[in-house]
Amino acid sequence: MQIRAKPILFLLDILFPARCLFCRKRLPYDAQTFFCPACSHRIAGSRPREIPIPAGSCSYLLPYAANVRRAILAYKFHNKPQYAEALGPLLVPLIQASGQVDCLTWAPVSTLRLLRRGYDQSRLLAEAAGRMLDIPVRPLLRKHRHTRKQSRTPRNLRGENVHGAYSLAGNAMPEGLRIALIDDIVTTGSTLSECARVLIEAGARAVYCMALAH
Ligand SMILES: [Zn+2]
Instruction: Tell me, yes or no, whether 109 and 20 share the same domain.
Output: no
CA–centroid distance, residue 43 to ligand 1 (Å): 10
Residues 6+ apart with CB under 8 A from 118: 79, 81
Residues 6+ apart with CB under 8 A from 114: 108, 120
Element (H, E) at 103: strand 103-106
CA–centroid distance, residue 18 to ligand 1 (Å): 11
Instruction: Tell me, yes or no, whether 62 and 119 share the same domain.
Output: yes
What φ, ψ does residue 63 adopt, rounded to 5°? -70, 135
CA–centroid distance, residue 44 to ligand 1 (Å): 13
Query: How confident is the model over 119-164, as pLDDT tens digits?
Result: 999 999 999 999 999 999 999 999 998 888 888 899 899 888 899 9
CA–centroid distance, residue 76 to ligand 1 (Å): 19
Instruction: Tell me, yes or no, whether 100 and 65 share the same domain.
Output: yes
Question: Could you list the residue range(s) of the whole structural domain that residue 21 is in?
Answer: 13-45
Rg (CA), the chain: 18
* pLDDT (0 to 100) of residue 146: 87
CA–centroid distance, residue 11 to ligand 1 (Å): 22
Average pLDDT of the residues of the chain:
93
Instruction: Tell me, yes or no, whether 19 and 51 share the same domain.
Output: no
CA–centroid distance, residue 191 to ligand 1 (Å): 30
CA–centroid distance, residue 94 to ligand 1 (Å): 21
CA–centroid distance, residue 86 to ligand 1 (Å): 12
**Closest to 140 measured CA to CA, from 75, 48, 202:** 202
Q: What is the pTM of this model?
A: 0.91
Domain assignment present for 27: yes
* pLDDT (0 to 100) of residue 31: 83
Instruction: Tell me, yes or no, whether 34 and 55 share the same domain.
Output: no
Nearest 5°: the CA angle 103, 126, 159 is 90
Instruction: Tell me, yes or no, whether 63 and 141 share the same domain.
Output: yes
CA–centroid distance, residue 34 to ligand 1 (Å): 9
